[in-house]
Structure 1
Amino acid sequence: MSEKLVQSLKKAFIDHRVTGSHYDPKLIINDVKKKEYMLTVLHDELNTCDHFFFSVAFLTQDGLASLKAQFADLHRRGVKGRILTSVYLAFNQPDVFKDLLTIPNIEVRLSKKEGFHSKGYLFKQKEYQSFIVGSSNLTMSALKVNYEWNVRLTTRDHGQMIQDINEHMEKEWHEADLLTPKWIEDYRASYKPLVQWVEDPVKVDPADVYITPNVMQKDALRNLAGLRSRGETKGIVVSATGTGKTYLSAFDVGQAEPDRVLFVVHREQILNKAKEDYRRILGGKKDDYGILSGSKKESNAKYVFATVQTMSKAHILDQFKQDHFDYILIDEVHKAGAKSYRQIIDYFEPKFLLGMTATPERTDGFNIFELFDYNIAYEIRLQEALEEDMLCPFHYFGVTEFEKNGELLTDSANINQLVERERVDYLIEKIKYYGCSKNDPKGLIFCSRKDEAEQLSHLFNQKGYPSSYLSGEDSLDKREEEVNRLENGKINYIFTVDIFNEGIDIPKINQIVMLRNTQSNIIFIQQLGRGLRKDTSKDYVTVIDFIGNYKNNYMIPMALSGDTSRNKNGLRKDTYDTHFISGISSINFESIAKKQIFQSINQIKLDSMKELRKEFDLLYNRIGRVPYLKDFQINQTIDPYILATKKKSYYDFLVYMKQNKKLLTESEQRYLQIASREFLAGMRKHELIFLKTLIEDNTSISNIESLTKLFKDNGLISNEKTIRSVIKTLTLTFYTASTAKTYDNHSFIDYTDNGIQLSNLFNEALRNDYFKQLLMDILETGLLKSEAFRTDSPLSRYQKYKRKDVLRLLNWKEQMVDQNIGGYTAKDGEFVIFITLEKGEEFSGALMAYEDELMDSSTLKWFTKSPRTLNSPEVKKLQDPGNWTYRVFAKKSDDEGTDFYYLGECTPVQDSIEGLNKPIQDGTKKSVVEMLLKFDEPIENSLFQYLTVLE
């Protein structure tokens, strides 16, 4: 380790070209574009430490919350920590001190030093210590948003600097006061924040307050005005819950200036709030605004706010002429497939019809987009809304469900298991631990069954947590009564099932608890959205999701990230690297809960024809025509590669869906199959650009010189080996064995002494316009996907590749059968290594148990095939690093299929190369060579953690 540390110091302070390691000094700056944050580094350090010590002047509840899942995992491992803080400038609020006392494995003390303003984080790792010093306090803004400078350094235990730090921190620790409940009580009684927020003593009528559109609303208003200027009479706005859809509609009414307006909602309790919001925006007389519901019949107003239940009645509709309203708005318009909505929409003939929803995707077959002539005026989803600071930040915690006798709850749990007292105690313990903003819970708890919700509410009341229970059987009056009790602090929780997924506005909600298996990512976001409306009573929302052994756990990362690509690799990444979430929100999984999600991803079949048909239909409904591969890529729905390779090509999929324009010949289908398998993934741009250029002008490239220029003009590698590889790919001479047989001599180009030209067979296929359309769709989609890959290097670190892809991209002359490659192969200066880290107890793929292991983010312990000795030819290549480039590709287990993460280039550590005799299955021994491989650059920590943490 000492040698690596010395090398890291050389790299940091002497020569940046020196190979680095995990121990490199690091400058940490919050970078939103790169999704790199101080918070990420703290998570990484906590995940591997044996002890930690924070010395921070300022803490906030949200900053502490963002680390609580890591603290819980450390507690499970028996790891403890210390936090030294203060009351300097009265910044730290009493609530954060109360939160600190709920963390059982952390001891907290308060410095008495005047002007205590430190920001230091110390971690004791297994073989070294690391510390971070800089400008970041333990606040969410400092950890994720603010422009901060911090430096991470590593040291051996006997280094002078760490000795000085430890000695100083111990001295400060022993001179500080212990945090106790009595201390917090006294502090709260005398607490006066330095900054006093004084309410304006002048009472202002809300109707007189001038409100201006936010960024999202301004864009939407321009688009809506543009729709009407083009003569369109309908439009739909897709906007996340809490982003101000009602205000937006009022602003648009203001710019459209209709004589009469109808606003339709599906719940009566929303009417008054909508009416108030409109009056604040539009002003006017009180009599201009009327309610049309079961209890009020104010139908003569200029602005009528009606429930769908009342408005859809025949005798109510008959009171109005069909053109009575110039402008009609339908809230929660995804419900418009219901008969009551259709009666209203079909009856009236407004000059403009606006629909608003947060979740337009439906699974009931009804096409919302068609209803509005596919005019999507504006769309803003959860991630974008968080980026624009439209929503209340949230901290999501994927928490381990109750476990009994080593077993987690499953989908089939009975009511006795769900409500047994041990589980209730466990739920309360976790809910209390993760807490909420300002420690005054106003929470919704979503259950899977009515009897569970009812009994849990009763048991929570017994435990001193005032709660109530609501279901679809309760009246609107009953629901409103319980919501008022919750907001007024008379109860802490409402347990519910089947209601409150949408259409309810409870701004003071500061805690969402999910006690149910995720059945739909749409419902998941709807339930999450119940707490995302901003309110002065809270700084953030806590979302606590109890994750059991459920088959649908894969939907959780799908819902949180918005990634519906059905790409398992993407879902895995969104589980182990959760820093995709914007703003000062965070996503955290306890380690066991994370394990349950990985298991679900491995077991689920995401590319079943049933699932693919569902995604196809959703996009078809959205754009109003047959979607092609490029449409799926642009709309960021299912990964087009999955659609195109589920069968021979996307054409075959369209045939299955009965959506193909015409039939293709067998030869045309073969070309689409090859292009889909080899080019669509976008791993190398060369073939895509080459083919697209030739098709658009088949005389534009006639020789190697013009091809080289094409690649150079597009910023691509254009050396001789790469050009030769591209030509061998398009002539199909790279492919061998069964692949060559499948491709059946369907070359795209001919390369002869006469130069480069399209092959006769391919030229013949291009005469079919439908074939050409489908082929160009593959090429254009591949170019879009290629943006994820580097153009200055044949391979991109952390992308996934099949063995065949690696050989092609490294310009090998021909393909090798995967079985012949096995764990590694070498040729023409390239030595490529493929490892599977978790082989499983049932693994029988080799006679010998190969124990390849990532020792740390810079070191791989690796074994050759057997029988091999120090004199074997490939071992000699490993002892000759001057003439070979060594590359490592890894996958966690065979559950990940045949794709491997590219971990980067490495170098064999020469003095670690050792010949061994290891036992094989029949009890005899065979020779094998073991060695350490050092990566030129450390593996990024989130991927390293994913690959190395056992499931």
Structure 2
Amino acid sequence: MNLNTNFSNSILSALLDKNIATKTEFTPQLIANAPHEKLKHHLEQELRTCTSFTFAVAFISNAVLTDLKVTFADLARHHVSGRIITSTYLNFNQPKIFAELLKIPNVEVRIADADSDFHAKGYIFNKSDYQTFLIGSSNLTSNALIQNYEWNLKLSSKTEGRLAEQINQEVEKQWQKAQPLNQKWIDQYAKFYSENVSLSSPTTPFQLENKSPLTPNRMQQAALKALINLRSEGQKRGLIISATGTGKTYLAAFDVRNYRPRKFLFVVHREQILRKALLSFKNVLGGPADDYGILAGGTKEIDRKYVFATIQTLSRPDILNELKANTFDYILIDEAHKAGAASYQKIINHFKPEFLLGMTATPERTDDFNIYELFDYHIAYEIRLQDAIEEKMLSEFHYIGITDYEYEGQVITDNTPLKHLVSRERMDYVEQQIDYYGHDGDQVYGLIFCSRTEEAHEVAQIMTQKGHPTVALTGEDSVDNREATIKKFENGEIEYLVTVDIFNEGIDIPKINQVIMLRNTESSIIFIQQLGRGLRKSEGKDFVTIIDFIGNYQNNYMIPIALTGDQTLNKNSLRNKISINQTVGLSSINFSEIAREQIYNSINNSNLTLLTKLRASYIDLKNKLGRVPLLVDFQKYGSTNAQIFVDKYENYHQFLFKMHDQQALTTLEDSFLRLISREFLNGMRVHELILLQDLFTNNGKYSKNDLITELSQMGTYTDVATITSLEKHLDLTYYQPNDSKKYGNTAMINLVENTYHLNESIWNSYQNNSYFKKLVDDVITTGLINSKNYDLNTKFTLYQKYTRRQVNSLLGWPTDQSSAIYGYKEKMGFCPMFVTYQKRADIPDELNHNNVFYNSSLLSWYTKSPRRLDSNEVVRLLEGNQNNTIDLLLFVKKSDDEGSDFYYLGQVDFDSDSVEQRYRTVKGKEKPIVKANLKLRTAVKYDLYLDLID
């Protein structure tokens, strides 16, 4: 099918008959910023596949320009350039925007005539022999590309098409009339702007000190209610976990206002934080100044109603001896994760308040101290970074992940010598990148994180020599020196602070608008702490730019874990997180091509399920709960995916054995747990779980008719093949010998006179072994929770992932034949088709079929070889699909690196016009093969489509 035919069919499909098959992405479509299809995704994808581009947009925001600079830089590497024509219409574009545009070497910019009222919103992408247009209501701003309900039409045209000609002529006319952007023009515009344009109100700081009366925000309201409920249950201790910058201090003040204590104590580790906290409490509580006292350094005001103390002073024996155990009825420990230290333990053991509250952003510790136990395992409320950003409690951020400096042609690795980490050549590269990606606001307030103290001092020296006043602050500096330096930084006398780890927490500098990471990501906790330094809102700051210089490090896989909060240890999930640039609210996560490849390699090459990692996750949750966690706890609390324990150890009992937390099980009990965990925990089919639940609650017996009625009332399918399959799974006749042996070679149910009977030994164990009962119930409960991820009405749920083995099972085939399913297999009216989109280079020629997504609704497909158009198999599939006697089910994965499971993309049909005889050379011999295009009944959602074809 030639290009002209493709365009013709696309136009006919869009304007005349939607059922006409279109082979390419030429079909016009409306883009309105749906959850899985943002205009930003389309824009970035078109940029990645174009030979040149032109943007004609009236308004441009610094935030979205920061994001696109990553893509522009990748295009420059491939010698692709573009043009932007913009305007001064309504004076929306600030002078800084034009200065930032001038930094992009492969983009030529012109400014529309001021008298033209230029208000266009169009994006043109030139391809090899056609063009794609995005035209509609969206300017180049974050809201317009991500969040707003917009109407934008995406269409493609041959360059000789009338519409393309009209658009191109109009753009060229405007381009020729427009003023080229240069520094002289920017200086003149900046002078006009400062003299004539009234700036809109700056961003309001999150902590609303100037508003009266102060009221809790939504997060604080929920937390306050949780604290009231906790105390109403008679609890004496509680923990608040809340991301940095979300108003923990004000939350505490609101709770103290609710509680009305006779005497209150606030404990913190630094006097600077203490004095800021006192002011915040005054804003909320009011009252006379002499109600508030400080216990720090040489100040000893312990007779006040509200006492604010540093741990260093409070823990002194002479101070504690003056204070009785019941002196304070409400005590608050700030940065409560530090409470394992001896000084904190001393005061906690000394005082007996009516209520003890701990507050922290990072309860996960690398030491053995259990913060949860200290607060009686009562987590009153929790809000993490991603939630806080979505709720707009924190500053918007734009993360830029780019490759680090290359030394001798290789990107910096774990083993690169220190002298090369701080070489002048590397710092030249760093300076170029931080200037290119820039910052919000007129002046930079930058924070640089390094790996070593020596490196920090050298970086500071080189940056200062380059004209960027920079000071290194490390653990070797005194508190007084740190505070004096920070004051100079806040006053604008210093551009950058360089540190190793002292700014990970406890430092509050809202003005920070650029964070530079020049170190390996060794901990997702520390990564978030460091990123969080720039997330406090500040007057005149709309967002913070995070520039991460990513070397070729083994643990780069931690970056998507930290940025997205995905702690599941699931490789597929992590790869999906970086496949396309992510958004969190209006914040964004952007990776350059090379950096994304480095992270992919790290994910693929890392063993995320090492016992050490699983043990750490287990111990953290055990500490949090105060007991041995179950699989259901991992699912509920967003920790490691419960399925990972089963995939690695076959049942949770075997993992608990590794943790020395197991109890005794018989061989049959262990085999039964292995069966239900491996086969049913995923929740893909609810039928077995419901039957097991019914058997265990009905003395080991349950009517088959009652089961079918129950399943029907749930709204799930009850066809004969599925019910028979259920029975074969539980009487073990479905499995191949190896699996049957693993499961005990003993039927776990028997059907007698239309009634299911549970294996008598299993029933006795369930009644008499509480440990076994707990693990069985845990699998069933977790499986039922997982089943909520699937559509009960169908055997397969769109966009969920399935292995060949799971497909074989869910189709109700009598025995496990998954090892014989290669590209496809037709049986019992179904033909699942498995496509690995990107084939390995070493795969045999006879299997290496080059599948191509022509668009999100059309995929090329090949039969096995040797096959001809008149082969029985080919005729049966074609006729069966045409007569609706065979359902074609499409399963696709990106590559073999992603494991053995495939995305289910729904039912497909053969495009009869595309069926043709082809030939493939296999080991020097020509073999016949049949090619056909598959028409997807449901177009692939756009973000997944981009992931698959990338």
Tell whether the structures are fold-level matches, with TM greater than 0.5.
yes
1:453 to 448, 452, 456: 456
Note if 1:532 corresponds to 2:535.
yes
Partner residue of 1:229?
A: 232
Q: Is the 8 A contact 2:411 2:552 kept in 1?
A: yes
1:301 to 290, 301, 304: 304
Partner residue of 2:273?
A: 270
Q: CA deviation at 1:253?
A: 1.0
Q: CA deviation at 1:182?
A: 0.9
Q: CA deviation at 1:84?
A: 1.3
Note if 1:372 corresponds to 2:370.
no
Counterparts of 1:844-883 in structure 2, within 5 Å, are: 846=844, 848=846, 850-858=848-856, 859-880=858-879, 881-882=881-882, 883=885
Q: Do the aligned partners of residues 421 and 849 (structure 1) sit closer, same or farther apart at CA in structure 2, a change above 3 Å counting?
A: farther
For residues 785-821 of structure 1, what are the alpha-carbon distances to aligned partners after superposition, in whole Å with 9 as ceiling and x for unaligned?
A: 2222233332233322211111112222221152x32
Partner residue of 2:626?
A: 624
Counterparts of 1:346-425 in structure 2, within 5 Å, are: 346-425=349-428
Partner residue of 1:816?
A: 817
Question: Matches of 1:839 and 1:17 in 2, distance apart?
Answer: 31
Q: Please, what is the CA RMSD of the aligned residues?
A: 2.5
Partner residue of 1:102?
A: 103
Note if 1:796 corresponds to 2:797.
yes
Q: CA deviation at 1:353?
A: 0.9
Query: Bigger shift: 729-738 or 471-480?
Result: 729-738
Counterparts of 1:883-922 in structure 2, within 5 Å, are: 883-909=885-911, 911-920=914-923
Q: CA deviation at 1:849?
A: 6.5
| Secondary structure at 1:853 match in 2 | coil
Q: Which residue identity does 1:546 align to in structure 2? A: F
Q: CA deviation at 1:88?
A: 0.8
For residues 710-757 of structure 1, what are the alpha-carbon distances to aligned partners after superposition, in whole Å with 9 as ceiling and x for unaligned?
A: 222112123333333333333333222422333344434323553444
Q: CA deviation at 1:110?
A: 1.1
Question: Matches of 1:817 and 1:519 in 2, distance apart?
Answer: 40
Q: Which residue identity does 2:656 align to in structure 1? A: L
For residues 225-278 of structure 1, what are the alpha-carbon distances to aligned partners after superposition, in whole Å with 9 as ceiling and x for unaligned?
A: 222222211111000000000111111111111122211111222122111111
Question: Matches of 1:614 and 1:29 in 2, distance apart?
Answer: 43
Note if 1:715 corresponds to 2:715.
yes
For residues 648-668 of structure 1, what are the alpha-carbon distances to aligned partners after superposition, in whole Å with 9 as ceiling and x for unaligned?
A: 3101212222223x4222111
Q: Do the aligned partners of residues 522 and 150 (structure 1) sit closer, same or farther apart at CA in structure 2, a change above 3 Å counting?
A: same
Question: Matches of 2:446 and 2:854 in 1, distance apart?
Answer: 42
1:147 to 127, 146, 149: 149
Counterparts of 1:576-587 in structure 2, within 5 Å, are: 576-579=579-582, 581-587=583-589
Q: CA deviation at 1:542?
A: 0.5
| Secondary structure at 1:356 match in 2 | strand
Counterparts of 1:727-806 in structure 2, within 5 Å, are: 727-751=727-751, 754-768=754-768, 769-806=770-807
Q: Give the TM-score normalised by the residue count of structure 2.
A: 0.94
Q: Do the aligned partners of residues 127 and 904 (structure 1) sit closer, same or farther apart at CA in structure 2, a change above 3 Å counting?
A: farther
Note if 1:218 corresponds to 2:218.
no
Question: Matches of 2:202 and 2:798 in 1, distance apart?
Answer: 54
Q: Is the 8 A contact 1:454 1:469 kept in 2?
A: yes
Q: CA deviation at 1:174?
A: 1.1
Query: Bigger shift: 394-403 or 895-904?
Result: 895-904
Counterparts of 1:832-851 in structure 2, within 5 Å, are: 832-841=832-841, 843=842, 846=844, 848=846, 850-851=848-849
Question: Matches of 1:414 and 1:12 in 2, distance apart?
Answer: 59
Q: CA deviation at 1:156?
A: 3.2
Q: Is the 8 A contact 1:864 1:928 kept in 2?
A: no
Query: Bigger shift: 159-168 or 633-642?
Result: 159-168
Partner residue of 2:193?
A: 191
| Secondary structure at 2:617 match in 1 | helix
Q: Do the aligned partners of residues 295 and 114 (structure 1) sit closer, same or farther apart at CA in structure 2, a change above 3 Å counting?
A: farther
Q: CA deviation at 1:7?
A: 4.5
| Secondary structure at 2:889 match in 1 | strand
Q: Do the aligned partners of residues 406 and 860 (structure 1) sit closer, same or farther apart at CA in structure 2, a change above 3 Å counting?
A: farther
Q: CA deviation at 1:701?
A: 5.1
Q: Which runs of 5+ in 2 are unaligned?
A: none
Question: Matches of 1:710 and 1:916 in 2, distance apart?
Answer: 52
Q: CA deviation at 1:696?
A: 2.6
Counterparts of 1:410-489 in structure 2, within 5 Å, are: 410-489=413-492
| Secondary structure at 1:370 match in 2 | helix
For residues 145-200 of structure 1, what are the alpha-carbon distances to aligned partners after superposition, in whole Å with 9 as ceiling and x for unaligned?
A: 22323232233333322221111111111111111111111001010575545799
Query: Bigger shift: 778-787 or 898-907?
Result: 898-907
Question: Matches of 2:829 and 2:572 in 1, distance apart?
Answer: 30
For residues 504-556 of structure 1, what are the alpha-carbon distances to aligned partners after superposition, in whole Å with 9 as ceiling and x for unaligned?
A: 00010001111111111100110011011100131001001111100111011
Question: Matches of 2:462 and 2:164 in 1, distance apart?
Answer: 51
Q: Is the 8 A contact 1:510 1:531 kept in 2?
A: yes
Partner residue of 1:311?
A: 314
For residues 828-861 of structure 1, what are the alpha-carbon distances to aligned partners after superposition, in whole Å with 9 as ceiling and x for unaligned?
A: 33333334445545x3x64757243335444545
Query: Bigger shift: 611-620 or 78-87?
Result: 78-87
Partner residue of 2:54?
A: 53
Q: CA deviation at 1:356?
A: 0.4
Question: Matches of 1:469 and 1:67 in 2, distance apart?
Answer: 31
| Secondary structure at 1:329 match in 2 | strand
Q: Is the 8 A contact 2:808 2:818 kept in 1?
A: no
Q: Which residue identity does 1:460 align to in structure 2? A: M
Q: CA deviation at 1:91?
A: 1.1
Q: Which residue identity does 2:590 align to in structure 1? A: N
| Secondary structure at 1:43 match in 2 | helix
Q: Do the aligned partners of residues 55 and 690 (structure 1) sit closer, same or farther apart at CA in structure 2, a change above 3 Å counting?
A: farther
Question: Matches of 1:197 and 1:588 in 2, distance apart?
Answer: 29
Q: Which residue identity does 2:621 align to in structure 1? A: L
For residues 295-328 of structure 1, what are the alpha-carbon distances to aligned partners after superposition, in whole Å with 9 as ceiling and x for unaligned?
A: 4333332222222122212122222122212211
Q: Percent identity?
A: 46
Q: Which residue identity does 2:716 align to in structure 1? A: L
Counterparts of 1:503-522 in structure 2, within 5 Å, are: 503-522=506-525
Question: Matches of 1:156 and 1:199 in 2, distance apart?
Answer: 46
Q: Which residue identity does 2:362 align to in structure 1? A: T
Q: CA deviation at 1:472?
A: 0.6
Question: Matches of 1:366 and 1:10 in 2, distance apart?
Answer: 67
Give the paired residue count.
Answer: 934
Partner residue of 1:78?
A: 79
Q: Give the TM-score normalised by the residue count of structure 1.
A: 0.93
| Secondary structure at 2:601 match in 1 | helix
For residues 632-679 of structure 1, what are the alpha-carbon distances to aligned partners after superposition, in whole Å with 9 as ceiling and x for unaligned?
A: 10101000011123213101212222223x422211111110111111
Counterparts of 1:105-124 in structure 2, within 5 Å, are: 105-112=106-113, 113-124=115-126
Question: Matches of 1:932 and 1:487 in 2, distance apart?
Answer: 65
Question: Matches of 2:722 and 2:25 in 1, distance apart?
Answer: 33
Q: Which residue identity does 1:368 align to in structure 2? A: I
Counterparts of 1:679-698 in structure 2, within 5 Å, are: 679-697=680-698
Question: Matches of 1:812 and 1:525 in 2, distance apart?
Answer: 48
Question: Matches of 2:213 and 2:98 in 1, distance apart?
Answer: 39
Q: Is the 8 A contact 1:450 1:497 kept in 2?
A: yes
Question: Matches of 1:847 and 1:131 in 2, distance apart?
Answer: 38
Question: Matches of 1:520 and 1:673 in 2, distance apart?
Answer: 34
Q: Do the aligned partners of residues 492 and 828 (structure 1) sit closer, same or farther apart at CA in structure 2, a change above 3 Å counting?
A: same
